[in-house]
Homo-oligomer: A and B are copies of this chain.
Amino acid sequence: MAKIDLEAIIKRYDLENISIATLASHSSLQIFHGARAEGLNTVAIVERSRLEFYRSFTRLINDFIVVDRWSDLCSESVVEKLRELNSIIVPHGSLVEYVGSECAESLGVPIFGLRSLYRVEASQRLKMDLLKRGKIPVPRSFSGRDLDDIDTLVIVKLPGAKGGRGYFLSRDPAEIRLRLKRLIDEGVISSTDDALIQEYVVGVTAYFHYFYSPILDRLEILGCDIRYESNVDGLKRLPNKYIEEIEPTFTVIGNIPMVLRESLLLKVYDYGMRFVNETKRSLPPGIIGPFCLESIVRDNGDIVVFEFSGRIVAGTNLYIDGSPYSWLYWDEPMSVGRRIAREIKMARDRRLIKKILT
């Protein structure tokens, strides 16, 4: 991968006319909404088939860059256009998935966020290692080689942000071995090591939305949500006699708001700080802006983190006018999308823009 000379690119930018650019998907409407609330220009990189829909949000998007396929993001002409518009890319959960990690890592346009985290996020194992180094409690995990050690219920997860599709539960090593073999035969994974096999922690799920501000050196808890998953959240409404033949699936369809017990927030804040500090140690300059710790809360109040996202998550779309937590920090409706734009403006105004771009 060619090294990008970010400094040279930013030097040529007209910082008084920054654009916030993102792929038209995932949480882009929130990102555009927040940027407009902060008075910044917005650029949607959009596949032709989605253009009509995104055009219907007339207040949100200033410029469209229409592409035939998402991976055109890294084409010379799109990069050129983005630079002309003094664009800062705000990455979201679909970026790496849509354009591929090579494009995302080498893209010649400044990104708001920690680009070196993409390589970690591509590997379930590297992700869990980072959490463990940060002393954040994670579920026990098993590899293809120690399937026979499994003595508890586990969830088997496949790589990539596919919204939970293909995950399955089991406590039987033989069944897991068989199903992984089938997935290899079908070409879904290339070896058992591609799957993440984690203890299924009994408790309730909770997804914590954080924002770390390098400019204020402050960690903010900006929200919390629960995922709404098909078909598992529908199955539970069926009488038992009808459920039995149906395999539960875990495709994320949407998100439901929640607030946590205030006494649990202390732990949530502490884990967030551990994540910030660990990324500063092992991936300097460390996390920039939004991230999410995806967790199970046990009935004794213990919190176990089974996954993280080093960027804005879709659950924040709930809080486009502010969340029950963002109002504690800000006197204005502050979505994560708007918080990103605010951080960029603060960085620019304090001549610290390089601190938040990679």
A299-B230 contact, Cβ under 8 Å, with A153-B242, A269-B53? yes
The reply to whether A320 and B314 form a contact with Cβ atoms under 8 Å apart is no
Digitize A89-107: 1 where CB-to-B-CB distance is under 8 Å, 0 elsewhere.
0000010000000000000
The reply to whether A318 and B256 form a contact with Cβ atoms under 8 Å apart is no
The stretch of A123-131, A201-209, A276-284 that contacts the partner chain:
A201-209
The reply to whether A260 and B251 form a contact with Cβ atoms under 8 Å apart is no
The reply to whether B324 and A322 form a contact with Cβ atoms under 8 Å apart is no
Please classify the interface of chain A as helix (H, G, I), strand (E, B), loop, or mixed, using the class held by over half of its residues.
mixed
Number of interface residues of A (CB under 8 A): 85
> B57, B59, B204, B319: which contacts A229 (Cβ < 8 A)?
B204
Q: Give Cα A228–Cα B314 distance, bound, in whole angstroms.
A: 21
* Chain B residue, CB-CB nearest to A153: B242
Q: Give Cα A333–Cα B50 distance, bound, in whole angstroms.
A: 27
Q: How far is the CB of A313 from chain B (nearest CB, A)?
A: 11
The stretch of A21-29, A112-120, A187-195, A341-349 that contacts the partner chain:
A21-29
A258 interface contact, C-beta 8 A: yes
Q: Which of A51-108 contact B (CB under 8 A)?
A: 53, 56-57, 59-60, 94
The reply to whether A262 and B328 form a contact with Cβ atoms under 8 Å apart is no
A174 interface contact, C-beta 8 A: no
The reply to whether B253 and A33 form a contact with Cβ atoms under 8 Å apart is no
The reply to whether A300 and B206 form a contact with Cβ atoms under 8 Å apart is no
> B53, B235, B328: which contacts A60 (Cβ < 8 A)?
B328
The reply to whether B238 and A169 form a contact with Cβ atoms under 8 Å apart is yes
A350 interface contact, C-beta 8 A: no
The reply to whether B253 and A256 form a contact with Cβ atoms under 8 Å apart is no
A33-B242 contact, Cβ under 8 Å, with A251-B301, A253-B206, A263-B26? no
Q: How far is the CB of A36 from chain B (nearest CB, A)?
A: 9
A299-B249 contact, Cβ under 8 Å, with A255-B258, A324-B321, A328-B60? yes
Q: Which B residues are in CB contact (< 8 Å) with A260?
A: 253-254
The reply to whether A163 and B328 form a contact with Cβ atoms under 8 Å apart is no
The reply to whether A296 and B26 form a contact with Cβ atoms under 8 Å apart is no
Q: Could you say which of A25, A239, A301 has the most chain B C-beta atoms within 10 Å of its C-beta? A: A239
A252 interface contact, C-beta 8 A: yes
A264 interface contact, C-beta 8 A: yes
The reply to whether A257 and B331 form a contact with Cβ atoms under 8 Å apart is no
Q: Which B residues are in CB contact (< 8 Å) with A331?
A: 59
The reply to whether B254 and A248 form a contact with Cβ atoms under 8 Å apart is no
16 A-B pairs with CB atoms under 8 Å apart are: A25-B262, A25-B263, A50-B266, A56-B218, A56-B219, A59-B329, A153-B238, A163-B261, A204-B228, A204-B233, A240-B243, A253-B260, A254-B258, A254-B264, A255-B259, A257-B257
A-B complex: 4 closest residue pairs judged by Cβ atoms: A249-B299, A251-B299, A230-B299, A204-B234
A253-B297, A259-B317, A320-B324 known; 7 new pairs, CB 8 Å cut-off, are A57-B328, A165-B300, A206-B254, A230-B298, A237-B248, A256-B258, A320-B328
